[in-house]
Structure 1
């Protein structure tokens, strides 16, 4: 009799727990429909406290987290469901939702892997196949954008290098010009100290230049004279 009583009490407790569990799930569903996702989450958590294997409650909990944009927590919830269940449909749906959570978190490569795992368990799911293609296209765009950004950075670095090289060359040219000017000033100063004016020739050089000029002038006059004689030979007028 005692054994029967114990079994009866155990079954009664189970029924009470199941009733409570269903109550929390129903209340959570009602709140979810009202878009009160935080309150719905609280009720779903209560429904799985005593029975962690309750699949609908766990899915609903993950979805409530997802609706609150708690994508990291939602992903962890769907990962636990996929790892703890042997039903391929359940596993496929869990990975599908995991892929969505990862996609929203900008983890494109991880979301692609989750969608692939979902399709392994449910190859006929067109929605998962679409999400997979979407994530792959997003990843392709991201990689192209990263490549473009890298090229822009390289071009910017090259432009900066070219500008720096030009500035360095301009500085060298300016330094060289300054040195030439300094050398000229030093030479002018020496010339002044030696009795010469800047940019003027020495007395000896001036005399040599004058002699050369006179010689050139005489040579020029001689050429003109010869030219005149030769030029008038055929045009001379005789006095008959």
Structure 2
């Protein structure tokens, strides 16, 4: 009996605690809704600063208040703070429990991304919105625009890449051309220098230039015989002696012929 009573007491306490938690959650949700309602009125009056404070109060009262987070993100869109708007809307999409809430969050996320020129990301956001509500024609229309925008951006990126590749190729070709021209000029300079050196003698004079020094002296002075070479006078004396000797030999031959004796006319080697 005591065990049964203890169990009943425990169950009663748990039930009471659960009811208390539910009451607190309901009260927090009610307060959060009131803050959101007040913030929406301030937005209509274009009092964005005060509206932001009320939305933040709603989120502080109930962290899972999708309405508070979503509307705060939407208010940032109106203020032009797209980065903060994207953060809050993404947060709302993640904690949303109904398809309707998710659809609205993703739809607005797509709009923010389009404003930021992030068209391909916007395509994915609109697709997520349509997954939660395939009947929304406005989302479908925005998806079409996002696809066109994404395709144009892709083409522009391809064109820029091609232009960059062409520019890089031209720069490379120009560099190679300049390098070749510079090398050709260097090679030509080296060749000209070599040809110039070949035309010079050991003393550095051009080979086709002759030294005229002493030419006048050569014309004025008789040519001296080189060592081992006879002078003209010596040659003349030798010729006379040879003639005299030949004459004597001829006379001797004639005398021998008269005696009938044959003589040798060939020379021994």
- TM value normalised by structure 2: 0.61
- Between structure 1 and structure 2, the one with the greater Rg is 2
Query: What displacement does 1:150 show?
Result: 0.8
| 1:78 matched residue in structure 2 | 89
**Structure 1 residues 20 and 86: CA distance shift in structure 2, 3 A:** closer
- Does the 8 Å CA contact 2:29/2:61 hold for their aligned counterparts? no
1:17: Cα distance to partner? Answer: 5.8
2:169 is aligned with 1:158? yes
Q: Which residue of 1 aligns with 2:209?
A: 197
Give the total of aligned pairs: 192
Unaligned runs of 5+ residues in structure 2 are 1-19, 211-269
Structure 1 gaps of 5+ residues are 1-8, 199-240
* Superposed CA offset, 1:176-235 (max 9, x none): 22122212321232286476329xxxxxxxxxxxxxxxxxxxxxxxxxxxxxxxxxxxxx
Deviation at 1:175, TM superposition (A): 1.6
Q: Deviations over 1:107-154 (max 9, x none)?
A: 333321111111011111111112111211111111111111111111
| Superposition RMSD in Å | 3.2
What residue in structure 1 maps to residue 192 of structure 2? 181
Query: Which residue number corresponds to residue 264 of structure 2?
Result: none
Task: Give the whole-Å Cα distance in 1 for the aligned partners of 2:53 and 2:74.
Answer: 12
Inter-partner Cα distance in structure 2 for 1:56 and 1:194: 102
Moved more, 141-150 or 159-168: 159-168
- Change beyond 3 A, Cα 1:188–1:194: closer
Instruction: Measure the CA separation in 2 of the matches of 1:195 and 1:46.
Output: 105
More helix by percentage: 1
- 8 Å Cα contact 1:65/1:74 also seen in 2: yes
Following the alignment from structure 1 to structure 2, what is the Cα–Cα distance between the partners of residues 145 and 57? 40
Aligned partners of 1:74 and 1:85: how far apart in 2?
16
Cα gap change, 1:105 to 1:159, in 2 (>3 Å): same
What is the CA distance between 1:161 and its match in structure 2?
Answer: 1.6
Q: For the structure 1 residues 109 and 40, does the alpha-carbon distance in structure 2 shift closer, same or farther, using more than 3 Å as the test?
A: same
